[in-house]
Structure 1
Amino acid sequence: MSWAGKILRVNLTAGTVTSEPLRMDWAKLYLGSRGLATKYLVEEIDPKVDPLSIDNKIIWATGPLTGTMASTGGRYTVVTKGPLTGAIACSNSGGYWGAELKMAGWDMVIFEGASAKPVYLSIENDRAELKDASAIWGKSVWETEEALKKSHQDPQARVSSIGAAGENQVLFAAVVNDLHRAAGRSGVGAVMGSKKLKAIIVRGTQGVGNLSNPKEFMKVTAEKKKILAENGVTGQGLPTYGTQVLMNVINEVGALPTRNHRDVQFEGAKDISAEAMATPRATDGKKPLVTNQACFGCTIACGRIQKIDQGHFTVSTKPQYWGASGGLEYEAAWALGAANGVNDLDTLQYANVLCNEHGMDPISFGATVGAVMELYEMGVLTKEQIGIDAKFGSPQALAHFAEITAKGEGFGKEIGQGSKRLTAKYGHPDLSMSSKGQEFPAYDGRAIQGIGLAYATSNRGGCHLRGYTIASEVLGIPVKTDPLESNGKPELVKAFQDATAAFDSAGVCIFTSFAWGLADVAPQVAAACGDEFTLENMNLIGERIWNMERDFNNRAGFTSKDDSLPKRLLEEAAKTGPAKGKVNELGKMLPEYYAIRGWDGDGQIKPETRERLGL
């Protein structure tokens, strides 16, 4: 079995670090990573706990395929109760950290309590101890990683840490590893900061042993890598253009939310697209895109490394930003760009670099700036209040807000609370483009009906990675469905949500699902963990995890009223493109979705559904 079989429990109040065996009965039911960590969390905390209080817990977890030779087996998740939403928060990251933890011999690390002074956790195989982090508190993610590798005299060690955003309780602060990979959403970094936990440095040299059937595992993972290599998306599109390949595609189908969702198409989309990143700039003749990059064990390599023009206003006096750094992914380019009407690629990369450096979710940050710009254009916010002229389309305003938000300076403090709190404070709560308090990503729910339902019902608030119906509705994977049609979307959303929960919990990247179905993941899990992990069982595990998360949210106080979308998507029709004249038909889809899920009309799980899933 490819679980390490043990977890670390760290009591930050007492300063103790203890090892305990993994609950294998739970592992069989919830697999690992997202599912298993959530099971531990919901068993151990009160769902009504204040996310930033000492009584909340935060868990780093790997999956059974993490650290193995399964393609993309480098994923880990951070699970806690999220401060942005008050709902379950589970944020997934790639890079190399997750595999390193697994190779050190641990499935997960549970942090409870809170430290009186800044600390970090050092893990070296079986040895784990809390150490004083006073010297690195206040430092950026990049400085933290460099300082820890130096002090531990180990350039091969891997670091997961927070920057200024997490320390300053920005409610969408991220946890960053390997300089620019992040568990980015829902404010997991703010919880880490509330506990005075700065970082986890890990070095693992034990490898991942105990595979159930090593020969079969080697055979089946090789077969599945071939499928990824031969697929148009995972073998060509993502390696060549990264996720940014979507910018022009989504704009053309009229589903690119622009200027805080006032519009569904952006006239500047081509200027901030993958194609623009690969084209030499007029100013210096150099391409913004330097190369692509892969996470641990990944055969897709969708990551981007990008450079800003040294003469650009954002960095002309800041040589520390002249080198190549983690580049724009589609969601970040959209949130920093189209959401605010900004089409200056170098400004987007500068804001993105600051999000990486200080540990901040670019989606929630950019979408919140979109709300600020709309309030500014309405005259609700003034230049005196926010410190700059902030009309839609202003690169200067975007750069300024990125600089002050992570550090909690001036109006940045308010942006750091997210769009739901900010728009409510200034009397226009309908201008927050969010669900359960988490900002939407880069797809408009009027032009793509299924994703609107997915946003409304997502357990962690507005999110594309909890049921990426774009695959079917736009890209035709695994089957093409009409994005403008709401019929059949409740079944589609449920299928994507359940499958995604299983992919996440196995420890592989969701991007593999462009080429793989659960029928491709199940035999890999079976060869690693045991024959009981059939396709049928994997489907059931995904559904069980989804319902467990839902149950936690219900007990935390969420009701069917929270499965909602902003008025703008429900009442203001799209103005251009194929969806012109359409709103999202949530009212029609939601009751059908509840019925398919086995929930009652109030969105509560029926007793017979609980029984069937063993909840």
Structure 2
Amino acid sequence: MSWAGKILRVNLTAGTVTPEPLNMEWARAYLGSRGLAAKYLTSEIDPKVDPLSPDNKIIWATGPLTGTMASTGGRYTVTTKGPLTGAIACSNSGGYWGAELKMAGWDMIIFEGKSPQPVYLYVNDDVAELRDAAHLWGKSVWDTEEILKTSLQDPLLRISSIGKAGENGVLYAAVVNDLHRAAGRSGVGTVMGSKNLKAIAVRGTKGVGNVRDPKAFMAATKAAKKVLADNAVTGQGLPAYGTQVLMNVINEVGLLPTRNHRDVQFEGAKDISAEAMLTPRASDGKKHLVTNQACFGCTIACGRVSKIDETHFSVQNKPQYWGASGGLEYEAAWALGAANGVNDLEALQYANLICNEQGMDPISFGATVGAVMELYEMGVLTKEQIGIEAPFGSARALCELADMTANGVGFGKEIGLGSKRLTAKYGHPELSMSVKGQEFPAYDGRVAQGIGLAYATSNRGACHLRGYTIASEVLGIPVKTEPTASEGKPELVKAFQDATAAFDSAGICIFTSFAWTLADVAPQLQAACGDEFTMEQLNLIGERIWNMEREFNNAAGFTKADDTLPQRLLTEAAKTGPGKGSVSKLPEMLPKYYEVRGWDAEGRPTAATKARLGL
């Protein structure tokens, strides 16, 4: 079986690190990563716990395919109760850290309690110990990586850490590994900071040698890689353009939320698109994009490496930002750009670098700035309060607010609260474009009815990665559905949500699902684990995970009333584009969604549903 069969339990209060066997019954029922970590978390904490109290726990988890030769097998998740939402939080990251943990012989690390002083966990195969991190506290993610690799004399260490945002309590702080890969959403980095846990440094030399049927596994992964290579999205679009390939596409179909969702198309989209990243700059003739990059074991390589224009105002006298570093992904480019009406590509890159360097979710940050800019234009917030002029379209305001928020200074402390708390504080809660307190990603839920329903019902708050119906509504994968139509969308959303939970839990990247179905994943898991996994079983596992997360949220105090969208999406029609005149039809879709889920009218899984899923 390709589970390592071991987990580490770290009691930060007592300073103890204890190995224990993995619960294999749970592993078979929930796979790994997202599903298995959620099972451990929901079994061990009170759903009503304060996310930032020592009684909350936080879990790093790999999947059975993490660290193997399965394409994209580098994923890991960080799972906790999230401070931004108060809901279950599970944030997924790529890079190399997850594979390193698996190669050290561990499936998962559970942290409980709170350390009296800053610490980091050092893992070198079977050796695992807490060490003093006083010298790392106050350092950026980038500095933390460099200091640990240098002081431990091991350039091959893989580091998962927080920057100043996590230390300062920014409610959407991220956990960052490999300099610019992040478990980005819901404030998992904030929980890490609340526990005085700075980093996890891992070195694994064992490999993943326990694949049950190596010959069958090699055949299954080879066939699956060919499917990815032959697909237009995973074989051509993503390698060439990255996720930024979507900017112009989504804008043209009228789905690009602009200026805090006041508009659905951005006149400056072309200036911040993948095509713009590939066009030589007027200032120096160089391209913004340097190259693409892959995470561990990935045959898609959608990652971007970019170089900022050294003459740009944001980096003048800041040579530390002149080198090549993590480039813009679509979600970040949207949140920092269109959401604020900013079409300055270099400003977006600078704000993104700050998010990477100090460990901050660019989606929630950018969307919160959008709310601030709207409040500023309304006259509710003034230059004196913010510290700068902050109208929509101001690249300078974006860059300065990124610095202020990451460092926890001035009005940045307010932005660090997220849009739900900030807009409520200033008397306009309706301006928070969020669900359950988590800000929307880069698709408008008025025009694409499926994604609106997916946002409203997502267990971790507004999210595109919990049911990416855009694949069907815009890209025609696996079948084309009409974006503005509401009929059939409850069934579509459930299918995407359940399948996504299985992909996440296997330890592979959700981008494979542009080409793969669960029928491509099943033979890889079967050969790796030795257990019989069919497409039907994986769907059932995904559905089990979804319902378990829902049960936790219900117990935490969430109700049907939280499965909603901002009034702007329900009442203010899209002004332009193919979906002009559309509002979200959530009220008519939600009861049907509950029905297809096997929930009662209040959104609670019925006894029959729980029995069928073994919950």
Code of the aligned partner of 1:541: I
Q: Name the counterpart of 2:485.
A: 485
CA distance in 2 between partners of 1:80 and 1:52 (Å): 10
CA distance in 1 between partners of 2:547 and 2:209 (Å): 32
Q: Name the counterpart of 2:520.
A: 520
Q: Name the counterpart of 1:62.
A: 62
> Over residues 320-365 of structure 1, what are the superposed CA-to-partner deviations in whole Å (9 max), with x where a residue is unaligned?
1100010000000000000000000000000000000000000000
Aligned-pair CA distance for 1:76: 0.1
Q: Name the counterpart of 1:17.
A: 17
Partner of 2:200, secondary structure, is strand
Q: Name the counterpart of 1:298.
A: 298
Q: Name the counterpart of 1:175.
A: 175
Aligned-pair CA distance for 1:536: 1.2
Code of the aligned partner of 1:444: D
Partner of 2:521, secondary structure, is helix
> For residues 333-482 of structure 1, what are the structure 2 equivalents within 5 Å?
333-482=333-482
CA distance in 2 between partners of 1:336 and 1:362 (Å): 7
Code of the aligned partner of 2:602: D
Code of the aligned partner of 1:544: R
1:152 aligns with 2:152: yes
Structure 1 residues not aligned, in runs of 5+: none
Code of the aligned partner of 2:554: N
Q: Name the counterpart of 1:332.
A: 332
CA distance in 1 between partners of 2:21 and 2:150 (Å): 32
Q: Name the counterpart of 1:314.
A: 314
Partner of 1:384, secondary structure, is helix
Code of the aligned partner of 1:23: N
> Over residues 82-139 of structure 1, what are the superposed CA-to-partner deviations in whole Å (9 max), with x where a residue is unaligned?
0000000000000000000000000000000000100000000000000000001000
Aligned-pair CA distance for 1:316: 1.4
Q: Name the counterpart of 2:532.
A: 532
Partner of 2:10, secondary structure, is strand
CA distance in 2 between partners of 1:279 and 1:406 (Å): 30
CA distance in 1 between partners of 2:488 and 2:309 (Å): 47
> For residues 94-243 of structure 1, what are the structure 2 equivalents within 5 Å?
94-243=94-243
Code of the aligned partner of 2:467: G
Partner of 1:259, secondary structure, is coil
Q: Name the counterpart of 1:496.
A: 496
Code of the aligned partner of 2:55: D
> Over residues 178-210 of structure 1, what are the superposed CA-to-partner deviations in whole Å (9 max), with x where a residue is unaligned?
000000000000000000000000000000022
Partner of 2:315, secondary structure, is coil
Code of the aligned partner of 2:216: E
**Structure 1 stretch displaced more, 533-542 or 123-132:** 533-542
> Over residues 145-189 of structure 1, what are the superposed CA-to-partner deviations in whole Å (9 max), with x where a residue is unaligned?
000011110000100000000000100000000000000000000
CA distance in 2 between partners of 1:373 and 1:135 (Å): 37
Q: TM-score, normalised by structure 1?
A: 1.00
Code of the aligned partner of 1:213: D
> Over residues 393-430 of structure 1, what are the superposed CA-to-partner deviations in whole Å (9 max), with x where a residue is unaligned?
00010001000001110000000000000000011001
CA distance in 1 between partners of 2:368 and 2:17 (Å): 38
Aligned-pair CA distance for 1:531: 3.7
Aligned-pair CA distance for 1:530: 2.0
Partner of 1:452, secondary structure, is helix
Partner of 1:56, secondary structure, is coil
CA distance in 2 between partners of 1:195 and 1:540 (Å): 35
CA distance in 2 between partners of 1:99 and 1:507 (Å): 9
Structure 2 residues not aligned, in runs of 5+: none
Aligned-pair CA distance for 1:392: 0.2
CA distance in 2 between partners of 1:209 and 1:2 (Å): 8
> For residues 546-561 of structure 1, what are the structure 2 equivalents within 5 Å?
546-561=546-561
CA distance in 2 between partners of 1:139 and 1:113 (Å): 23
Partner of 2:551, secondary structure, is helix
CA distance in 2 between partners of 1:175 and 1:213 (Å): 34
Q: Name the counterpart of 1:256.
A: 256
Partner of 2:18, secondary structure, is strand
Q: Name the counterpart of 1:31.
A: 31
Aligned-pair CA distance for 1:516: 0.1
Partner of 1:391, secondary structure, is coil
CA distance in 1 between partners of 2:165 and 2:519 (Å): 40
Code of the aligned partner of 1:441: P
> Over residues 583-609 of structure 1, what are the superposed CA-to-partner deviations in whole Å (9 max), with x where a residue is unaligned?
000000000000000000000110000
Code of the aligned partner of 2:610: R
Partner of 1:541, secondary structure, is helix
CA distance in 1 between partners of 2:342 and 2:173 (Å): 23
- Aligned length, in residue pairs: 615
CA distance in 2 between partners of 1:532 and 1:554 (Å): 32
Code of the aligned partner of 2:30: Y
CA distance in 2 between partners of 1:475 and 1:535 (Å): 23
Aligned-pair CA distance for 1:6: 0.4
Aligned-pair CA distance for 1:447: 1.2
Aligned-pair CA distance for 1:579: 1.0
Code of the aligned partner of 2:118: P
Q: CA RMSD in A?
A: 0.4
CA distance in 2 between partners of 1:223 and 1:577 (Å): 40
Aligned-pair CA distance for 1:533: 1.1
Aligned-pair CA distance for 1:221: 0.2
Partner of 2:573, secondary structure, is coil
Aligned-pair CA distance for 1:284: 1.0
Aligned-pair CA distance for 1:438: 0.1
Partner of 1:314, secondary structure, is helix
> Over residues 343-390 of structure 1, what are the superposed CA-to-partner deviations in whole Å (9 max), with x where a residue is unaligned?
000000000000000000000000000000000000000000000100
> Over residues 41-72 of structure 1, what are the superposed CA-to-partner deviations in whole Å (9 max), with x where a residue is unaligned?
00000000000001000000000000000000
Q: Name the counterpart of 1:45.
A: 45
